[in-house]
Amino acid sequence: MSDDFSSVKSMADVTPALMNKMSEGTFTDLLGLKFTELSGDGVSAEWVVTPQQFQPAGIVNGGVYCTVVETLASVAAGAWLGDRGTVVGVNNNTDFLRAVREGKLTGVSTPIHRGRSQQLWVVEITDEQGRMVARGQVRLQNLYPQN
């Protein structure tokens, strides 16, 4: 992290505003993803669909959903693990349920399992009408510092 974030000891210390700042210039920033809630019990974020997110048929590319699912699960898992270690994703399974061409989308992560060695999170992405457009599940490995 840059010097602006030197006071951050772990993901447990990160607020939505700080996560948005930390994301500047990253892939999720390119998508326009903005964090609205952030804790070890779940993360919420939203973004506005743009043509740059489309696949050739003019709908949001599935990779956009996979990115959001991975990001929200990873940030939440890291916030839950806190200063005990870090997390890395080891599996992302995302289903695409509804084609989207415009509007604001919202993603919400929820823990399924938070164990000593692994975590499992589900992320649901909905449109402005509250309809689910994608749903993903991410398994993460907890990594602890070597003593």
Domain boundaries, the chain: 3-143
pLDDT of 68 reads 98
Q: What are phi and psi of 2, to 5 degrees?
A: -75, 175
pLDDT of 72 reads 98
Could you say which residues of the chain have pLDDT below 70? 1-9, 147
pLDDT of 146 reads 86
CATH of domain 3-143: 3.10.129.10
pLDDT of 4 reads 58
pLDDT of 13 reads 84
pTM, entire model:
0.92
Q: Which residue has the tokens 């999170």?
A: 121
pLDDT of 3 reads 45
Name the residue type at position 106.
Answer: T
pLDDT of 15 reads 94
